[in-house]
Chains A and B, each alone.
Chain A
């Protein structure tokens, strides 16, 4: 190969990388702008809403909170108390003890005066069998609580059991260790009730990070910025993702994922599509894609809604080992879902789903880490070949870095102008500093986890959920 050909190839590769980066950056800018409009609209519309009326209404629809629990003995009693303290009237809490090996069930029985009852389950979705059965409380104060003890089948299987057990019209599927604000249910159910032209089939909520925040009796008392760099960086990452990204996708009715930590579904549709897929680690994304695909095929006019209010607070990994394990799982989940539903890709029959949402996820979520790694390897080769034009490399690196900072600052602005949760002095400065550091302290680990996720997906099929050790909200720094 002569020098001219080599230079030509290098030139083409450069343009490909440049084109990809340009498209990615443009999409982020467009999504941020859409998100700003959507946020303003949301705030205007909701400034008139009186959420108190639905609380006392006989016409308020029933909601079941379904919370799977596996070896959550440490915090299960407090977590359930938090779930039982919601202000909504017509709701129940279904805890699915998914074959825990610890004493979660015994703790619940003791704390909530539970007794085993004869409960007939409408087995609409196939699940693992019950172990000790269904429990209800003898104490009227806990009449909303149902505890189901079943054989272990994973999170998706536990959620499916909850779908079978629930008698409600809507189900809120959440992680048991999440802290729900007291007004979470009425805010989440609103999109279902106010829709007149489109059928709302699911609502996604924002997940906020509660590490270092003060929680008392299952209630969020004081929001704090955590001390560890990895936790702070995740806060910024979540702000970007939920306040900029998902808000815009909601406007475009293109949401492909509702966080497994907190989402609400029309139970009928969740059962119609067969419930959660137990064969994937990305069950939260999979069910949304499947529901959308199903409704597109049936030509139903539907919407997946999104509520930007900070209603659900969770504990984020506070060390890199667990963080990498979590992101590895997210990557595998994304790959599994996109592969399973590849029929949708670029298919005009699926309208926005096929031509916008799916391609975006495929190109800018699924392939992004792979392209980035290829880029790094390619850069290494160029260094080895002494073909790097350092003035170009430096200029583009600085430009990309500045753009990343700007995007993070945009997310911080959005937070300040809307919910202003981090009120304490100097927190703003800390957030700015973290937006400067995040590309170095978090992004490389996300990239590493994504690469590991890809390798595990293709070469380590046995790998399932991975490790996720929690300390418990409000106890993180004790």
Chain B
């Protein structure tokens, strides 16, 4: 008591600013103590949560596997399925449990294929898990909506189409991306129709995800893509160009050549890549005739295309570029010239002084 009074008197006599510093110090000390205690609690709870997660995962996995691989008669199986679904329904109101159940179902679904995969999907659809995902779609939080769509995609819930489709132009990109993946994953090329009404940009990452989704489809018959190639949304054009390359869309060559007049340089570059891949001879004359009007990056890409389709008749154009200041163009031109006309190439070797730097010439000579 005596000490307390001494401290109290001391503090009261202090100037205001010093009082403030001490008050702040006491406050921060308390915060430090609370933080330390909370850190201890947090670490323990994280450890416990991890252990509990493992325990629950094992439990659900054992239950699910014993049902999935049971060879009893149909009636018994049906009873077991109902029993399992009842267990799930009883426990999914708890977020923690629901998350683990879904993770377990997904893990087994990804590891097992065929009939058993369908059984897992059936369990998901018969349980109340689906309704939780539907509820998430109505959330005001973008994160919950995206989670819901992802889950419905993973369990291939086609009935959710109308509720998910309307979210295609949702303000948050993560939601848009999940909608796109849902459409393509479940409705395949048909799902790509969203491209016609897409207002936002498809990032390169989104495009890769969609292309990978399409790559693994059994039916590889791609629909008509001309409309998307002429879309006002540049990212849709870019994505469609990648589709054209992936699915060797020779029938779109005319549109591709027209796209060389597109104002977006990235699109023109991608067109050259597609034309290179398709080895379109017709494109050669169009591109070489306007060669100087293209950017340096495009010119390099044109030479890459030419490397695949060059003929002796291209010698004049190639020879015009052997002194290019661009390393890649010069290398490409010299390689092609060597291949087309060894005599002309040999003459270059005699007159090396004509080159600012003969390193590229020497390299082509030796390789």
Which residues on A are within 8 Å of B, measured CB to CB?
A: 44-45, 47-48, 50, 53-54, 56-61, 118, 120, 122, 124, 190, 192-197, 391-392, 395-396, 398-399, 402-403, 405-406, 409, 412-413, 416-417, 420, 423, 425, 428-429, 432
30 A-B pairs within 8 Å (CB atoms) are namely: A44-B143, A44-B174, A53-B213, A54-B208, A56-B212, A57-B208, A58-B246, A59-B204, A59-B242, A118-B363, A118-B367, A193-B205, A195-B203, A196-B203, A197-B201, A395-B21, A395-B25, A399-B21, A402-B29, A405-B32, A406-B32, A409-B35, A412-B39, A413-B35, A413-B39, A416-B42, A416-B43, A417-B42, A423-B46, A428-B43
Q: Which B residues are in CB contact (< 8 Å) with A45?
A: 174
The 3 A-B residue pairs whose C-beta atoms are closest, nearest first, are A402-B28, A196-B201, A193-B205
Q: Are A391 and B14 in contact (CB under 8 A)?
A: yes
Within 8 Å by CB of B40, from A48, A59, A417, A428, lies: A428
Q: Given A48-B146, A190-B205, A416-B43, do A399 and B18 touch, yes or no (CB 8 Å)?
A: no
Within 8 Å by CB of B208, from A47, A60, A197, A425, lies: A60
Most B C-beta atoms less than 10 A away, residue of A50, A60, A395, A417: A395
- The yes or no answer to B193 lying at the interface (CB within 8 A) is no
Measured in the bound complex, the distance between the Cα atoms of B146 and A405 in whole Å is 38
- The yes or no answer to B328 lying at the interface (CB within 8 A) is yes
Most B C-beta atoms less than 10 A away, residue of A59, A61, A398, A405: A59
Q: Are B204 and A194 in contact (CB under 8 A)?
A: yes
Residue total for B at the interface (Cβ-Cβ under 8 A): 49
Q: Are A48 and B174 in contact (CB under 8 A)?
A: yes
- The yes or no answer to B366 lying at the interface (CB within 8 A) is yes
Q: Are A420 and B46 in contact (CB under 8 A)?
A: yes
Q: Are A395 and B22 in contact (CB under 8 A)?
A: yes
Q: How far is the CB of A297 from chain B (nearest CB, A)?
A: 21
User: In residues 3-44 of chain B, which contact A (Cβ within 8 Å)?
Assistant: 14, 18, 21-22, 24-25, 28-29, 31-32, 35-36, 39-40, 42-43
Q: Given A57-B211, A120-B363, A196-B235, do A432 and B39 touch, yes or no (CB 8 Å)?
A: yes
Q: Given A396-B21, A399-B25, A416-B46, do A122 and B31 touch, yes or no (CB 8 Å)?
A: no
Q: How far is the CB of B204 from chain A (nearest CB, A)?
A: 4
Q: Given A59-B211, A420-B46, do A48 and B235 touch, yes or no (CB 8 Å)?
A: no
Q: How far is the CB of A124 from chain B (nearest CB, A)?
A: 8
Measured in the bound complex, the distance between the Cα atoms of B177 and A47 in whole Å is 13
Q: How far is the CB of B362 from chain A (nearest CB, A)?
A: 9
Q: Which A residues are in CB contact (< 8 Å) with B359?
A: 120
Q: Which A residues are in CB contact (< 8 Å) with B206?
A: 194
Q: How far is the CB of B311 from chain A (nearest CB, A)?
A: 25
A54-B212, A403-B28 known; 15 new pairs, CB 8 Å cut-off, are: A47-B143, A50-B209, A53-B212, A59-B208, A120-B359, A391-B14, A392-B21, A395-B18, A399-B24, A402-B28, A402-B29, A402-B32, A413-B39, A416-B43, A428-B39
Q: Which A residues are in CB contact (< 8 Å) with B246?
A: 58
Measured in the bound complex, the distance between the Cα atoms of B147 and A392 in whole Å is 54
Q: Which A residues are in CB contact (< 8 Å) with B36?
A: 409, 432
Closest to B15 in A: A392
- The yes or no answer to B207 lying at the interface (CB within 8 A) is yes
User: In residues 235-257 of chain B, which contact A (Cβ within 8 Å)?
Assistant: 235, 242, 246
Q: Are A392 and B18 in contact (CB under 8 A)?
A: yes
User: In residues 320-365 of chain B, which contact A (Cβ within 8 Å)?
Assistant: 327-328, 331, 359-360, 363
Task: Give a binary string over B261-282; 1 marks a CB under 8 Å from any A CB, 0 the rest.
Answer: 0000000000000000000000
Measured in the bound complex, the distance between the Cα atoms of B32 and A403 in whole Å is 9
Q: Given A60-B208, A391-B14, A432-B36, do A399 and B203 touch, yes or no (CB 8 Å)?
A: no
Task: Give a binary string over B154-177; 1 marks a CB under 8 Å from any A CB, 0 the rest.
Answer: 000000000000000000001001
Q: Which B residues are in CB contact (< 8 Å) with A48?
A: 146-147, 150, 174, 177-178
- The yes or no answer to B47 lying at the interface (CB within 8 A) is yes
User: In residues 183-231 of chain B, which contact A (Cβ within 8 Å)?
Assistant: 200-209, 211-213
Q: How far is the CB of B310 from chain A (nearest CB, A)?
A: 20
User: In residues 138-160 of chain B, which contact A (Cβ within 8 Å)?
Assistant: 143, 146-147, 150
Within 8 Å by CB of A59, from B21, B43, B207, lies: B207
Closest to A412 in B: B39
Closest to A44 in B: B143
Q: Which A residues are in CB contact (< 8 Å) with B205?
A: 54, 190, 193-194
Q: Which A residues are in CB contact (< 8 Å) with B40?
A: 428-429
Closest to A121 in B: B359
Q: Are B327 and A402 in contact (CB under 8 A)?
A: no
Q: How far is the CB of B27 from chain A (nearest CB, A)?
A: 9
Most B C-beta atoms less than 10 A away, residue of A120, A124, A420, A432: A120
Q: Are B32 and A409 in contact (CB under 8 A)?
A: yes
Q: Which B residues are in CB contact (< 8 Å) with A425?
A: 47
Q: How far is the CB of B243 from chain A (nearest CB, A)?
A: 11
Measured in the bound complex, the distance between the Cα atoms of B24 and A48 in whole Å is 42
Q: Given A392-B18, A396-B21, A416-B46, do A406 and B31 touch, yes or no (CB 8 Å)?
A: yes
Q: Which B residues are in CB contact (< 8 Å) with A432?
A: 36, 39
Q: How far is the CB of A43 from chain B (nearest CB, A)?
A: 10
Q: Which A residues are in CB contact (< 8 Å) with B147?
A: 47-48
Q: Which B residues are in CB contact (< 8 Å) with A61?
A: 204
Q: Which A residues are in CB contact (< 8 Å) with B202?
A: 196
Measured in the bound complex, the distance between the Cα atoms of B359 and A477 in whole Å is 50
Closest to A40 in B: B143
Closest to B178 in A: A48
Q: Are B35 and A406 in contact (CB under 8 A)?
A: yes
Measured in the bound complex, the distance between the Cα atoms of B113 and A398 in whole Å is 64
Q: Which B residues are in CB contact (< 8 Å) with A59?
A: 204, 207-208, 211, 242
Q: How far is the CB of A171 from chain B (nearest CB, A)?
A: 17
Q: Which B residues are in CB contact (< 8 Å) with A402?
A: 25, 28-29, 32
Q: Given A48-B174, A120-B359, do A409 and B39 touch, yes or no (CB 8 Å)?
A: yes
Q: How far is the CB of B6 from chain A (nearest CB, A)?
A: 14
Q: Given A60-B208, A399-B21, do A416 and B14 touch, yes or no (CB 8 Å)?
A: no
Most A C-beta atoms less than 10 A away, residue of B150, B212, B359: B212
Measured in the bound complex, the distance between the Cα atoms of B203 and A192 in whole Å is 10
Q: Are A122 and B328 in contact (CB under 8 A)?
A: yes
Measured in the bound complex, the distance between the Cα atoms of B31 and A413 in whole Å is 13
Within 8 Å by CB of B212, from A57, A194, A392, A406, lies: A57
Closest to B10 in A: A391
Most A C-beta atoms less than 10 A away, residue of B22, B32, B43: B43
Q: Which A residues are in CB contact (< 8 Å) with B47?
A: 423, 425
Q: How far is the CB of A7 from chain B (nearest CB, A)?
A: 15
Q: Which A residues are in CB contact (< 8 Å) with B208?
A: 53-54, 57, 59-60, 193
